[in-house]
A and B are shown apart, each in its own frame.
Chain A
Amino acid sequence: MTIKRRNFIKGIAGAGAGLAAAPLIANTASAREVKMVEDAHVGMLYDATKCVGCKSCEVACKKANKLPPELDVSGIYDAPRDLSEKTMNIIKLYKGDEGLSYVKRQCMHCVDPNCVSGCPTDALNKMENGVVTYDPDACCGCRYCQMNCPFNIPKFEFNHFYGKIVKCELCYTTNLPEKGQPACTEACPNGAVIYGKVKKLLAVAKDRLKQSPSLYINHVYGEKEGGGTSVLYLAKVPFEKLGFPKLKDYSDASISEGIQHTLYQGLIAPAIVYAGIAAIAFRNRSKEKEE
């Protein structure tokens, strides 16, 4: 009797393991649909070859979003070294053998964001127009978004007793409704960064690559990286040198959610396993009572 039960248990254990291993064998992503850029999604196109590093966009962002200046090491200039809880948009400079290039960094507003997928309390959301927004009232400050963002964009107020996350929201509540575009694209003097529908911007970017191939690396960063981003980049210097990670063509969220859905969709699998286990425990108990 005991042996039979043991085998039965082993069977369940095996089934459980198999269930968990299924994503390995089957195509994980198919358990969850692939997210694509929609027609309504807006974003930006940044062309590093046109940027002159004037930093008007940095200043405009701070003004529009009422952010404080971030002093450099000498304590004089508003010269942030990186994105931070005071700086949502920054111009960085790369000087190297391949040449000189500026690069604008801010939230990429990914098509299938890791941060949105991982946030347990729904503080980060991808809105209808594609902007990824943040709600401090929902946020519990777990900082999972900081860990899972491939671009290290969300910044947490570590030195505040009740800190929140700070990141570019494409001026969703400030410049975007008031002026129809984010503050940075409005301020740029020579159109290095422009605003528009992502699909259109992608076409513009591809057109630039076609018209002046010698000016650029033949790649639009953000078209496919991590499942795609709403902010697209063109540059003359390799993107890794500009601080962009080399990413897969699909998003991590599709894998993670694929696994979650396979295992837990509707809590069916756990319910079945639970029912089985409770039944066995009940039988064992009654067996004990008989003895």
Chain B
Amino acid sequence: MIRSNNFLAEKGVGRRDFLKLSTQVALVLGLSPAIIPKMTHALETKEKPAVIWLHFQECTGCTESLLRSSAVDVATLILDVISLEYHETLFAAAGHQIEEQLQSAMKRYAGKYVLVVEGAIPTKENGHYCMIGGRTALEMLKETAEQAAAVISIGSCASWGGIPSSGPNPTGAVGVNQIIKNKPVVNVPGCPPNPYNFLSTVVHFLTFGKLPALDKQGRPKFAYGTLIHDQCERRGHFNAQRFVNEFGDEGHRRGWCLYKMGCKGPATFANCPEQGFNRYKTWPVSIGHPCFGCVEKDVAFTVPLHTVSEVLSPNPPQVYASPQQAGNKPASLIAAGAVGAAAGIAATAVVMKGKKLPDSEEG
């Protein structure tokens, strides 16, 4: 059901709240404040995209994370930025009722709805390891994705398989983009992901009519384009080699770098240090626990928590010397001139002395 704008006003959701959301989103997207009015207008006037939200092998943490976004009064506003047509956690309905709702929403908004997937999809044994209403997750996904305008995978599980896919992956869990290949799939990984990464993607779509720039893994670049290591507030400690060696030691108490404790920041692309979670913008490192690289497929549930990470890019301000150093002191003009003069004088003197000498034998 598409809510009308009046409905929002009735609920006490005003333009000011849209403004707050736009401001937050603009910040996340890294856009100039000038975009805010445009975004607010879009939020106010444009037709909200219908969203069908599927849950598969997941813990529902992604939904919970979304519910805890704190820019504005939560759940209601979120549910009104988008028009949620199917959500197993949030809907009161169950059983045949909700199944009907899903089918009718798919029919009504065919070709126009956004499919959001939370959770991985098991593929072994024809996908029998996750069944909802008698159908496998695999079937459901394929069927629902067919008429979707765009697909967003929220969370690491939907993006690349997440915890269910960690070795030995007994259910054959994979991410959405391993199954849906004929449509653009945006991955918003994280365990859980920052809700604003998701929200901003949607608002971007609403405002500009297209998805934000994606990287090779289909992740929005505005959120997953930079290493955590390069945004970390403890980077100065890394540069100065002030490391925590043991939880609870003096360095830990003073907030030093957690690299030696296994922080995967140097191998993880995300915007956690910038955005933070919850109202106080905290994230694991800020409270003293090393990042475990929850967005990265090769890191998160693969590399042990306290194994020291590889560092993906040595960027300034860490200055490294290059292997060849000549260390020359430049020649000065005066010295060059003096040497030239000396050589010249010597040569001239020899010639002049020679001139005085007889050319043939003398007595």
List residues of A whose CB falls within 8 A of some B CB.
52-56, 58-59, 72, 77-82, 90-94, 100, 102-103, 105, 189-190, 241-243
Contact = CB atoms under 8 A, between A and B. Distances in A.
Contacts of A243: 323-324
Q: Which of A54, A55, A79, A80 has most chain B Cβ within 10 Å?
A: A54
Contacts of A103: 323
Nearest to B260: A189
Contacts of A82: 321, 325, 327
Cβ-closest 10 pairs across A and B: A243-B323, A93-B320, A82-B325, A59-B241, A79-B319, A52-B311, A190-B308, A81-B321, A189-B260, A92-B321
Given A58-B241, A77-B319, 9 more contacts: A52-B310, A54-B241, A56-B241, A80-B321, A91-B320, A93-B320, A94-B322, A189-B308, A243-B323
Nearest to A78: B240
B243 A90 contact: no
B288 to A, nearest CB: 18
Contacts of B226: none
9 contacts: A53-B311, A53-B320, A81-B321, A92-B322, A102-B314, A102-B320, A103-B323, A189-B259, A242-B323
A167 to B, nearest CB: 15
Contacts, number: 61
B283 interface: no
A53 B318 contact: yes
B268 to A, nearest CB: 14
A58 B260 CA distance: 16
B227 to A, nearest CB: 13
B317 interface: yes
Nearest to B266: A52
Contact of B314 (A72, A90, A93): A93
B238 interface: yes
B239 interface: yes
Interface residues of B, number: 23
Contacts of B321: 79-82, 90, 92-93
B314 A53 contact: yes
A272 B238 CA distance: 67
Interface in B296-326: 308-311, 314, 317-325
Contacts of B260: 189
A189 B322 contact: no
Nearest to B261: A189
A92 B317 CA distance: 14
B239 A77 contact: yes
A243 B322 CA distance: 9
Contacts of A190: 308
Nearest to B322: A92
Contacts of A53: 311, 314, 318, 320
Nearest to A87: B321
Contacts of A52: 266, 308-311
A41 B304 CA distance: 36
Contacts of B239: 77
A100 B323 CA distance: 12
B243 A56 contact: yes
A100 B320 CA distance: 12
Contacts of A59: 240-241
A53 B308 CA distance: 12
A55 B266 CA distance: 15
Contacts of B320: 53, 79, 91-93, 102
Contacts of B266: 52
B311 A54 contact: yes
A189 B319 contact: no
